[in-house]
Amino acid sequence: MKIGVLYGGPSAERAVSLRSGQAVAEALAARYTVELIEVTQNNQFVNEQHQVVARCDQGKLASYDYLTEFDVLFNALHGTFGEDGQLQRLLDVAGLRYTGSGEQSSRLCMDKNKLNKTARGLGFALPVDQLIVLGDDITYLVQAIESVHEYPLVVKPNDSGSSVGVKMIYSHEDLVAFVAHEAGKNTEFLVQQCIVGRELTCGVLGNSDSHVVALPVVEIKTTADFFDYDAKYHDTTTQEICPAKIPVSINEMVQQHARQIHTAAGCAGLTRSDFILDENNILYFLETNTSPGLTPVSLCPKEARAAGYAFVDFLDKIVQLAL
């Protein structure tokens, strides 16, 4: 079987995707014929011979005959374009098989505000949140946020991953500075109550129309204010404990919630859902990633190892789910 690994992309998570793609290709090469296909920052598809083998043209995939030679395209893109439904729509229209969730599920999970509504419908506890558009009226925005939230609070782009752009806001002065910096960009941000507690995450394997399996839960311990981009990929003091040392009842709840949101959102392949457990043992849902990192230090590969999967077997399972 022939596998094309899509990696790179135009998003702020490009560097992580490049590492994910390399790791996936190296592992799957032991079992399949594998080729890396880089998605450039202007959304061209380039093979290992540096040839453009497909491109985006007016919202459609053009000149993509080369891609039809692959049995499966392994999507190792993260963030905008690769994880938000855009790539999935292009591949669907072209009739190309790919790993992971489809267009609608990808769009839903990338939109944190909409996914939170789905999670609340399942009865999950969530931090108090507020969707804002960062326009030019700084005074109005600050007043609107302070009318709902107490400090500290968390602000995050509504459609980003890997904690890119997430900030902790501790005071009125911090909020004014943040809003002033972002003013006029018309970017959607989600403002959330800051929940202090244990950070837990759980991967799920399966297609939502059939049986899905939760991987072992990870507890993340970091000296940073939260598990931000640097803590994920650069901070050597960050601890990722797998399986998490938590009560059985909490472990089962995390896994159940991760399976439920995976299924309710109509996801396929691999997802990873993040939670906070507060001091009263209330489990708060944070978000679901439809294209989790697959670098050597990423969370889901660690969970897979704890579940007894060799890395290549774990990736092969994702391929088989696409088939």
Cβ atoms of 255 and 248 within 8 Å: the answer is no
Query: CA 193, CA 195: separation in Å to the nearest integer?
Result: 6
Lowest mean pLDDT among 121-125, 129-133, 136-140, 316-320: 136-140
Task: Reply yes or no on whether the pLDDT at 62 is more than 50.
Answer: yes
Give the alpha-carbon dihedral of 12, 18, 21, 27, to 10 degrees. Answer: -140
Task: Reply yes or no on whether the pLDDT at 43 is more than 50.
Answer: yes
pLDDT band for position 94 (50/70/90)? very high
Residues of the chain with CATH 3.40.50.20: 2-98
Residues of the chain with CATH 3.30.1490.20: 129-193
What pLDDT, on the 0 to 100 scale, is given for residue 297?
A: 83
Q: How far is CA 13 from CA 185, 218, 299, in A?
A: 20, 22, 16
Within 10 angstroms of residue 248's Cβ, the number of other Cβ atoms is 7
Q: Average pLDDT, stretch 173-180? A: 92
Task: Reply yes or no on whether the pLDDT at 36 is more than 90.
Answer: yes
pLDDT tens-digit map of 146-160: 999 999 999 998 886
CATH topology assigned to domain 108-125+196-322: D-amino Acid Aminotransferase; Chain A, domain 1 (3.30.470)
Pick the CATH number of 2-98 from 3.40.50.20, 3.40.50.300, 3.30.1370.60, 3.30.70.20: 3.40.50.20
Query: CA 300, CA 247: separation in Å to the nearest integer?
Result: 21
What pLDDT, on the 0 to 100 scale, is given for residue 123?
A: 98
Enumerate long-range contacts of 296-299, CB under 8 Å, 24 or more apart.
296/19, 296/23, 297/233, 298/20, 299/201, 299/203, 299/218, 299/220, 299/240, 299/242, 299/272
Q: Which residues belong to the active site?
A: 13, 162, 233, 272, 274, 287, 289, 293
What pLDDT, on the 0 to 100 scale, is given for residue 142?
A: 93
Mean pLDDT of the chain: 92
pLDDT band for position 162 (50/70/90)? very low
Q: Which CATH number does 129-193 carry?
A: 3.30.1490.20
pLDDT band for position 164 (50/70/90)? low
- What per-residue string of b and e applies to 157-184 under the rule 16 or more CB within 10 Å gives b? bbbbbbbbbbbebeeeebbeebbeebee
Q: 323: which DSSP letter? A: -
Q: How many helices (H) and strands (E) does the chain have?
A: 10, 16
What pLDDT, on the 0 to 100 scale, is given for residue 227?
A: 47
pLDDT tens-digit map of 270-282: 999 999 999 999 9
Query: CA 91, CA 248: separation in Å to the nearest integer?
Result: 41
The one-letter amino acid at 224: A
Query: CA 290, CA 205: separation in Å to the nearest integer?
Result: 11
- Sign of the C-alpha dihedral computed for residues 221, 26, 21 and 92 taken in this order: negative
Query: CA 214, CA 203: separation in Å to the nearest integer?
Result: 6
What pLDDT, on the 0 to 100 scale, is given for residue 135?
A: 77
Tokens describing residue 94? 């072209």
pLDDT tens-digit map of 201-259: 999 999 998 999 999 999 999 876 654 445 445 456 789 999 999 999 999 999 999 99
Task: Give the pTM.
Answer: 0.92
Query: CA 303, CA 243: separation in Å to the nearest integer?
Result: 7
Answer whether the bond into residue 292 is a cis peptide, omega within 30°.
no
Q: Which of 157, 149, 130, 270 is nearest to 207 (CA)?
A: 270
